[in-house]
Structure 1
Amino acid sequence: MKKQLLSFIGVFMLLVTGVSAQDFQGIATYKTQRKIDIKMDSTKVNDAMQTKMLEMMKKQFQKTYTLTFDKTSSLYKQEAELDKPQIGGEIMMSFGNSGDDVFYKNIKDKKYIDQKETMGKKFLIKDSIVAIDWKLEKDTKHIGEYMCFKATYTKQVPKRNFNFSSNSNKKDDAEEEEKEPEMTERTITAWYTPQIPVSNGPAKYQGLPGLILEIHDGTLTVICSQIVINPEEKVEIVEPAKGKEVSQEEYDDIMDKKTKEMMERYAPRKGSKGEGFSITIGG
């Protein structure tokens, strides 16, 4: 089945005209959104306030990105936007990202560079692209004018639950930190089009026989809303170079530590009248 599908895609790509030139370039626009669940003490925060906070947090994760790409490399960057209402500024700085962040990929050299600004510090994360074990499915659909094919893969991911509670106990929290995080299995679904013959996509998603136009990864949804092939103004893809150079593992360790420090700082003290709450973010 997989070989037959690959053969069909290969023939389909040969039938596509005007996109196989040596100087082939493009710009794709993606919109993202993420589901969030907030649980708060109902005796201290009414339903209307909880609903308002949930809507405001959802808007924090509704972003627009542009993917500038050629045959072998790409830049993925958030578009400039008006300031959104903030909820706990430092909390959002930890869970969100800066508008100056740039994600560079070189498919040919199998490397990426992720320039991030987190909690006021710039990082330059350099690491290798990890191959994704995609399963090519037979399902198809159109996204705009492009015929797309479905692909999936399954991975183990840690459950995320950020608990800011006055009922927490430091001893219990320390014991909790020593435990391995609870893992859950997740299936990621992608829709890609062989009509744009680049093995690329938004953020860290890539490795399919065509540009990825849609991603469903847990509570995260990424959908392409516009594509310009071979724009009049030549595309420039330059590796980002600002920030402290670290590996992905080193950056993850730094963020883990900073997040725990932030949670401890903002959690209400035991016996205080401040309301406790937890935020669950999948993916």
Structure 2
Amino acid sequence: MKTYLPLLLLFTFSFIYSQNKSGIATYKLQIAFDKDALEVDKKYGYLQKAIDICNDLEYKLVFNKNEANFFQEENQKLDIVATNMANILSETPKISYQNIEQNILLSELKADGILIQQKEFLIKEDLKINWTITSESKLIDNYLCYKALTTKIVYKGDKGFNENVIAWFCPTIPFSFGPTKYSGLPGLILELQEKNIAFTLKSLTLNDNDIVKIIIATAKKTISQTEYNDIVKTRMETLQSMSKQK
């Protein structure tokens, strides 16, 4: 991890809330696409539906010192198709489990009834992320946050491209977690920005005891992200082949 923020400052901040042992952060989701993408989507309107429903969605990060869960708070009153599309675009699983001591991320996927069955796969990844911490800062809900940068690989066909990811973390809240799969910073991530999506803090509750319940995600089979991508690709090709035969 590269850092341009004085380490003494980070350590000083981390002691301020050292008495807190757990917490719950609630995030709201924002999705944005350019006019060209929305024009292509006009026939079905899936992107626009996902954008519109964001105002009613809430995402929870439940954490203690070493573990965390991230998930979308279920709301049966909301449109299922639009909700699922928002979760796909933001890469939010049914529930994720992070353990910084074991350096693992487990993601239980939502069943779609076509490609993925209920509790069929659990994706296991390393938590390690190469962050560059900058001295740029801003206030989020009166918390002083600092900007950290990393990249992720996005595939278009068989080609992979690097996309920038920006995290705003608060050193005075010394928990190394954040939305979706992002972690490893010396403070809680209060805002996460990717190309088309952003998670921003809506509310935060900190506790001086370990009262939050952390769930370890489970499924029938544990696989890597690469293995999962290959399975989905194969199943999609099979469906397309069967459709052409009808």
Matched, 1:105 2:82: no
User: Normalising by structure 1, what TM-score?
Assistant: 0.70
Distance, in Å, in 1 between the alignment partners of 2:40 and 2:145 is: 41
1:118 pairs with one of 89, 103, 111: 111
Q: Percent identity?
A: 27
* RMSD, aligned CA: 3.6
Structure 1 residues 220 and 243: CA distance shift in structure 2, 3 A: farther
**Number of residue pairs matched?**
235
The alpha-carbon deviation at position 181 of structure 1 amounts to 2.2
- One-letter amino acid of the structure 2 residue matched with residue 20 of structure 1: S
> Residues 79-90 of structure 1: matches in 2 within 5 Å?
79-81=73-75, 82-84=77-79, 86=81
Q: Structure 1 residues 85, 202: closer, same or farther in 2, change over 3 A?
A: closer
- Give the SS at the match of 1:196: coil
Give 3-state SS (helix, strand or coil) of 1:184's partner: strand
**Aligned to 1:64, which of 27, 34, 58?**
58
How far has the Cα of 1:103 moved from its partner? 0.5
User: What corresponds to 2:129 in structure 1?
Assistant: 132
- State the TM-score, normalizing by the size of structure 2: 0.79
Mapping of residues 229-248 of structure 1, within 5 Å: 229-230=206-207, 234-248=211-225
**One-letter code of the match for 1:158?**
Y
Aligned counterpart, 2:175: 198
Between 247-256 and 188-197, report the one with greater CA deviation.
Answer: 247-256
Partner of 1:166: none
Please tell me whether the aligned partners of residues 188 and 218 of structure 1 are also in contact (alpha carbons under 8 angstroms).
yes
Cα distance in 2 for residues equivalent to 1:116 and 1:9: 35
- In structure 2, give the amino acid aligned to 1:66: K
Matched, 1:152 2:153: no
CA distance 1:156–1:77, change in 2 (3 Å): closer
What amino acid is the match of 1:108?
Answer: E
Give the 3 Å change call, closer, same or farther, for CA 216–93 of structure 1 in structure 2: closer
How do 1:162-241 residues align onto structure 2 when only pairs under 5 Å count? Answer: 181-230=158-207, 234-241=211-218
The one-letter code sitting in structure 2 at the alignment partner of 1:212 is I
Q: Could you tell me which of 10, 29, 34 is aligned with 2:31?
A: 34
Q: Which amino acid aligns with 1:250?
A: E
The C-alpha deviation readout for 1:134-189, integer Å capped at 9, x for no partner, is 11111111110211000112344223xxxxxxxxxxxxxxxxxxxx6233332111
Which residue of structure 2 lines up, in the alignment, with residue 275 of structure 1?
none
The 2-side partners of 1:106 and 1:248 are apart by 17
